[in-house]
A and B are shown apart, each in its own frame.
Chain A
Amino acid sequence: MNLAHLHLLLNHFPTVGMIIGLGLFLAALLWNSDHLKRASLGVFLAIGLIAMPTYMTGNAAQEILAQHPSSAALHLTALIEAHQSWALLAFILISLNGLLAWTGLWQYRRHSRPAAWILPAVLVCSAASFGTMGIAANLGGDIMHPEVRDVADGRASWMISAFSQSVIKAAVTDSTKIWAACEAIHFMGLAILFGMVLLIDLRILGFLKGVSFESIHKLLPYAVAAYAVNLATGMTFFIAASDQYTGNPVFYWKVGLLLLASANLAYFTVMDDSWLLKAGENAPGRTKFAAVTALVLWIGVMYAGRMLPFIGNAF
């Protein structure tokens, strides 16, 4: 199994998951069921997380395919480029949708109901995600399925010319300033996220017992904003120099640990066991376990990230 194989495995989740998520969400709106609404927001958040490795393994698949002797003969380059560009657009929208879904879940926890704007925003964003994901999936299928290829036959050529991700790659590669600025911002985001994780952990483990979890929960959006900023800056590095990450085992560790750490952050956003902790109360064992896990995972993410240029070959 290689990363191209993993891409073929993962790439069904965003498309099929979005159908399930949207269906569930529409049913929830129709029946006006808060439980279903929260469940569908959870599905959207999960798809948002899975979109990251799906997009990244795609770059690895492209590199493997470029080495393949049949690649030039089959005129795959333009098709792959178009697939990648639409996949990037879909990735951005799905991530935004995941961010909105997280905000909705946070508001449900905090105020028992979300703000008036959040569910319409999720509806629009998930529909747009599904549309772009559909185009990306269609082009992706065309790459190795000549029997369904309609772009190459001259039909649907607008898909090819619509937008190119190489614009971003060229802009970042040409300018050290963009790269340096993204590095600086990435480390600021790191500090905010790590500070938040420490605050959660110190409370759960009993060092800050005088503080209720509810008041810490109120700060979570700052950490998630930092998460979003680091996702954007990190993806900028990845798009500009993907070959130094797709061939870098330390990077696999970083992404794997990041996904687990994200799930952990979601746990502290929605679950009852931490939310119910009043000032002075002792956290149950499983909450303490989640807190220790958070610390191990986030330090692991930072270690793998910092080791990218040293153990791996990234700069």
Chain B
Amino acid sequence: MMDFLKSIEQLSISTWIREGGAIYGYALILFMHTIGLGLVAGITCMMNLRLLGLTSMPVKPLTKLYPLIWYGFYLNLITGVLLIMADASTKLMNWDFWVKMGLIAVGLVIQTMIQKKMLNEPSNEAIPTGVRGLAILSLVCWFGAILAGRLLAYVGPVAGLA
């Protein structure tokens, strides 16, 4: 297993990410990962605040934001895979990484459930039953994923990259 992870790290693309210089390699991918984080957690957070009744804006126009959340997720899927390839043998062996993956998986399921309920709701203002609970869970998942992701640099096997 370890040999396999090490061999991923030795791929030319992984080496390039690690050693490709400050501006273009690891650092730029990490920055794009941060933008993706902002899109997913930021937009879901704002929409969840609305679903929890903390402002009174109409709900229907906000459903137009769903694709943006998913673009953010796809951006982070790609950049995340690249970052992991550069540091496979430490990150994939870190329990905290799998906590993060679990939170993201649950977060995506919840997002899909919220979207389904909201898009089936004909009214401009009404919030379907059960959505409030999902909104709270969604906040827990995305902010938990940020916490777990950030702690990757501090817990588990000593990382090669921060």
Contact = CB atoms under 8 A, between A and B. Distances in A.
Interface stretch (A42-50, A114-122, A154-162, A212-220): A212-220
Interface residues of A, number: 37
Nearest to A207: B64
A222 B22 contact: no
B55 interface: yes
B30 A306 contact: yes
A156 to B, nearest CB: 43
B152 to A, nearest CB: 10
A193 B26 CA distance: 25
A219 B54 contact: yes
A216 B50 CA distance: 10
Interface string A301-315: 011001101110001
A210 interface: yes
Interface string A279-315: 1000000000000000000010011001101110001
| Range, interface on chain B | 35 or more
Secondary structure type dominating chain B contacts: helix
Contacts of B55: 215-216, 218-219
Nearest to A183: B150
Given A180-B154, A184-B146, A315-B162, A195 B31 contact: no
Contacts, number: 108
Given A215-B57, A310-B27, A195 B45 contact: yes
A241 to B, nearest CB: 14
A302 B49 contact: no
A121 B64 CA distance: 41
Interface string B123-162: 0000000000000000000110011011101100000001
Interface of A: 176, 180, 183-184, 187-188, 190-196, 198-199, 202, 207-212, 215-216, 218-219, 222, 279, 299, 302-303, 306-307, 309-311, 315
16 contacts: A183-B153, A184-B150, A187-B37, A188-B41, A195-B41, A198-B46, A199-B43, A211-B57, A211-B62, A215-B56, A216-B55, A219-B49, A279-B58, A302-B35, A311-B23, A315-B162
